[in-house]
Structure 1
Amino acid sequence: MTKPADIEKMPDRIAEMFVGRTVFITGGSGFLGKVLIEKLLRCCSGVKRIYILIRNKKGKSPKERIHDIFKNALFDLLRSKDPDAFQKCIPIPGDVTEIDLGISPEDRKKLQEEVEFFYHSAATTRFDDTMKYAVTMNTRGTKFALELASQCKKLKCFIHVSTAYVNPLQDVLDEKYYPPPANPEEVLNSINWIKEDAMGNFTKQLLGDIPNTYTFTKALAEALVHDQMEKLPAIIVRPSVVIPIYKDPLPGWCNNLQGPMGLFVGAGKGIIRSMYMDSKSYADMVPADICVNGMLCGTWYHVNVEKKQRYFNLTSTSDYQFSWEEIIEMGKKIVYNRMPFNQCVWYPGGSMKKSRIHHAICFYLFQIIPALFIDLLLLILGYKPVLYQIQRRIEKGQEMFEYYTSRAWNFTNDKMKVARDLMNKKERSIYILDGEGLDLMDYFEQCLHTVRLTILKETDDMLPAARRNMKILWALDRICKGLFFYFVFLYTYRGLSALLF
């Protein structure tokens, strides 16, 4: 058995790879981007400099935005250990949607002279973006990133963050290249001259059986990266659905309420009562910290071990398979018994429906109609109505997410496992790549706790009130259900009596 002192003496080859090196990151203000920056600064402290592409937003300059990002609770551990680490981060004003990433000639020259590792994670991950915007952001942005990378004189690796669902029409997705659904250059050229009134038909024709513009444009971006692999030291990492941090540095932390966490919070607050999905299909999800560790490990493997290996799936179903039914039931138990929310609209409940018609009936009966009733009360009391619009946004989000919750895919990640097996015990403890010892119930409870604190601003001293409210809502829910079934029985009995007698 290896002693802790012996483990401590082992080398950290991933950290050593970044000593004295310069990194450039696009998408640094996003979910994965923030986790990547924090990990590099805290665990690869020898890194010389991190340039971060960032645009002006809401009247704030890139420098102000970087300052705001580092105030996030995600960076608290780093701040306590090394408060000067943030000085290594330098904002580069620019925008992925602009020509040449919107980078000035002066900054471009600086990047060309210094950058050795280029992480391209900027993307729009919304499923309902227009084709024009998704192509501009995901595909054309990648093209400009590749052009910049090809001009970087010291480049050791270009890391493109894609998606495991890049070819969703396949049941089994391997760590290999898949031809794109269209020619990326032709699509890029077409976007420039297609008129807005014709964009709808153009989008339908392009997508075919592909579920959304996100998946389509990420597949085109992969093709652009693949075409440059003979010239560039480039790799593609493919995470599945990215969920809150598992362990490091802040368990349960996430950037927003998109994806599964949005479903948990919506259901936990009593807003979502019905979901259309195949309860037996399983979800492939990967925590953000494991995803970032996979990105760093894949970089090290390509640079130091096998330059021919270009694709890495960052997925979980080869090791863990949890059905949506299991996950939703866990979420219910946590909200009922451990981590209830404050300001709930109704008692958390509802269920998954395999029938679209059944779901539609329940959605209008138990979500839309109550939302209209509550909004009417708000209007009478002089407040702005909000619930109906929230329900419509939920409906749209569920429609977008539906494709992934009513199907199941198998992902292979053999290459990432090979890279993981080459890591020593010290490296495995720093760059966790598996769920050894995972208790899914505890993990989701931590996620909901952190969401309460960091996003919903519901502090721990509010939990006793939340538990009391949960009991009250439970009683009201039972009373309303009892009255509902009573009147259904009464009118059914009267109707039958009138027919028979």
Structure 2
Amino acid sequence: MRISELMVEEKATPLQHFYEGANILITGGTGFLGKILLNKLFTSCPGIENIYILIRKKNNKDVHTRAEEIFDDPIFNVMKKVAPKFRHQFQGIAGDCLLPDLGLSREDRKLLIQRVNIVFHMAATVRFDEKLKIAMQINVKAARDIMLLCSEMKHLKSVLHVSTAYTQCPLRQIDEKFYSPPSDSNDLILLTECMPDKLLESMTPVLLGKWPNTYTFTKAVAEDIIKIYGNKLPVGMFRPGIVISTYRDPVCGWIDNFYGPTGAIAGAGTGVIRTLRCDPRAVANMVPVDLCVNSIIAAAWDISQKHKLLNTYKKIHRFMRVIEYFSMRQWDFKIDNVINLWNRLSDKDKDIFFFDMTQLDWDLFLQQYFRGIRQYLLHDPLDTIPQALVRWNRLYWLHQCIKLLVLFLSAHIIWLFCSKLC
């Protein structure tokens, strides 16, 4: 390892360390959110090995040309100075969310399965008036195809699906949990695939139900797809609000689209829009794109950490189930033959091949046993024991104080209750 690499490793934060040597797949990398994500990864996570971006052919331009054009945007000027060799870490992958299996070639699919560690699935159609068939294909079926691809990945550490805060917009309060889909997800996929376009368009208002448009409807269905097909994967879901311009990184105020409030502000500023229906008391759930991207990067790290803990707890619970039969029972084993064997040994053999359990010093043995677990399994050096004892004493007395406080409050509440009854 070179000296420069050692310096990077010493200075890297836990989050940056997670991305060292990572191979990342990004869908939607050519969009507004994707560009800022690319910029942040290249400038703030220098240890990344490769970033693969799913890119479709468009306007008679091949994947390589479109990949190069991404970085023509002035937003990447600072990044090109900070990470001048970024092109060696970047590769466009031919694909299309409108095609089966994401339109991946056999060679590219094999490459991604063998190499990718982290997946950011951000590709989506954000048009509110998109036809249901197209919205289902891009927002729902592509999410299913990504989950199926991830399930084959050999070294997967984290998958992040970018949804929207408005998937459950018919509700007043929206919790951080999975909700039941508007209809069965797989049935909806089959329906939109098989039904004639005109009939599907006429039925769309009925299928949407309480959802105001095909965007929020299909994103809600996609969340159920993530729940079903990502059940055994290190997967998480991110629900941003209305994503607007950058706050500070890499420049202040950068925006490249007229979606949402941006179009309304631009229209009002130019005099094109004179009136707009809105509730002036309502809170607009807007988030700067660079803050959104920073959260996405941190969330992918958090998913990996929690998945490790989840796997550990699964192993612990499996272990507990295995030993439960024995830990809940007691037996009386006869050892007459063992005792006779011990009695037949010479004194010297008894010393060399000691196995008499009746002479075992259990207090000393258990102390050594616990220290061995600490030292050899947990790799926690013994010289930290004094500090650990101090910490344990603090926690012990804090626990006792909390118990006394709870006891006092309970007694006080009971006394007040009894006083009122009297």
Report the TM-score when normalising by structure 1: 0.59
Could you tell me which residue of structure 2 aligns to residue 99 of structure 1?
Answer: 100
> Any idea what the Cα deviations from partners look like across 1:447-475, whole Å, max 9, x if unmatched?
xxxxxxxxxxxxxxxxxxxxxxxxxxxxx
Partner amino acid for 1:62?
V
Could you tell me which residue of structure 2 aligns to residue 70 of structure 1?
Answer: 71
Supply the distance in 2 between the matched residues of 1:308 and 1:177 (Cα, whole angstroms): 21
Supply the distance in 2 between the matched residues of 1:77 and 1:236 (Cα, whole angstroms): 30
Cα 1:42–1:15 change in 2 (3 A) is: same
CA contact (8 A) 2:147 2:230 kept: no
CA contact (8 A) 2:244 2:289 kept: yes
Unpaired runs of at least 5, structure 2: 1-9, 311-422
Could you tell me which residue of structure 1 aligns to residue 133 of structure 2?
Answer: 132
Report the TM-score when normalising by structure 2: 0.69
Could you tell me which residue of structure 2 aligns to residue 151 of structure 1?
Answer: 152
Could you tell me which residue of structure 2 aligns to residue 209 of structure 1?
Answer: 210
> Any idea what the Cα deviations from partners look like across 1:378-422, whole Å, max 9, x if unmatched?
xxxxxxxxxxxxxxxxxxxxxxxxxxxxxxxxxxxxxxxxxxxxx
Partner amino acid for 1:266?
G
Q: Secondary structure at the match of 2:178?
A: coil
Alignment partner of 1:34 is 2:46: no
Supply the distance in 1 between the matched residues of 2:236 and 2:190 (Cα, whole angstroms): 26
| Cα distance, 1:197 vs structure 2 | 2.0
Task: Judge which range, 209-218 or 190-199, deviates more.
Answer: 190-199
Q: How many residues align?
A: 302
> Any idea what the Cα deviations from partners look like across 1:224-265, whole Å, max 9, x if unmatched?
111134311110000010011111112111121111111111
Could you tell me which residue of structure 2 aligns to residue 385 of structure 1?
Answer: none
Could you tell me which residue of structure 2 aligns to residue 473 of structure 1?
Answer: none
Could you tell me which residue of structure 1 aligns to residue 291 of structure 2?
Answer: 290
Q: Give aligned-pair identity as a percent.
A: 39
Unpaired runs of at least 5, structure 1: 1-8, 310-501
CA contact (8 A) 1:53 1:95 kept: yes
Could you tell me which residue of structure 1 aligns to residue 366 of structure 2?
Answer: none
Supply the distance in 2 between the matched residues of 1:240 and 1:278 (Cα, whole angstroms): 18
Supply the distance in 1 between the matched residues of 2:308 and 2:208 (Cα, whole angstroms): 33
CA contact (8 A) 2:164 2:239 kept: yes
CA contact (8 A) 1:30 1:255 kept: no
Could you tell me which residue of structure 2 aligns to residue 199 of structure 1?
Answer: 200
Could you tell me which residue of structure 1 aligns to residue 54 of structure 2?
Answer: 53
Could you tell me which residue of structure 2 aligns to residue 141 of structure 1?
Answer: 142
Supply the distance in 2 between the matched residues of 1:69 and 1:229 (Cα, whole angstroms): 30
Alignment partner of 1:301 is 2:302: yes
| Cα distance, 1:10 vs structure 2 | 6.2
Cα 1:167–1:270 change in 2 (3 A) is: same
Partner amino acid for 1:215?
T
Q: Secondary structure at the match of 1:97?
A: coil
Could you tell me which residue of structure 1 aligns to residue 164 of structure 2?
Answer: 163
Which structure would you say has the larger Rg?
Answer: 2
Pairs within 5 Å for 1:47-446 = 47-305=48-306
CA contact (8 A) 1:127 1:213 kept: yes
Q: Secondary structure at the match of 2:66?
A: helix
Supply the distance in 2 between the matched residues of 1:93 and 1:229 (Cα, whole angstroms): 24
> Any idea what the Cα deviations from partners look like across 1:441-499, whole Å, max 9, x if unmatched?
xxxxxxxxxxxxxxxxxxxxxxxxxxxxxxxxxxxxxxxxxxxxxxxxxxxxxxxxxxx
| Cα distance, 1:87 vs structure 2 | 2.3
Q: Secondary structure at the match of 1:171?
A: coil
| Cα distance, 1:305 vs structure 2 | 4.5
Supply the distance in 2 between the matched residues of 1:252 and 1:73 (Cα, whole angstroms): 13
Partner amino acid for 2:154?
K
CA contact (8 A) 2:135 2:215 kept: yes
CA contact (8 A) 2:39 2:79 kept: yes
Partner amino acid for 1:212?
N
Partner amino acid for 2:217?
F
**Which 4+ stretches in 1 moved above 4 angstroms?**
305-309
CA contact (8 A) 2:158 2:301 kept: no
| Cα distance, 1:201 vs structure 2 | 2.7
| Cα distance, 1:11 vs structure 2 | 4.3
Q: Secondary structure at the match of 1:282?
A: coil
Partner amino acid for 1:269?
T
| Cα distance, 1:306 vs structure 2 | 6.2
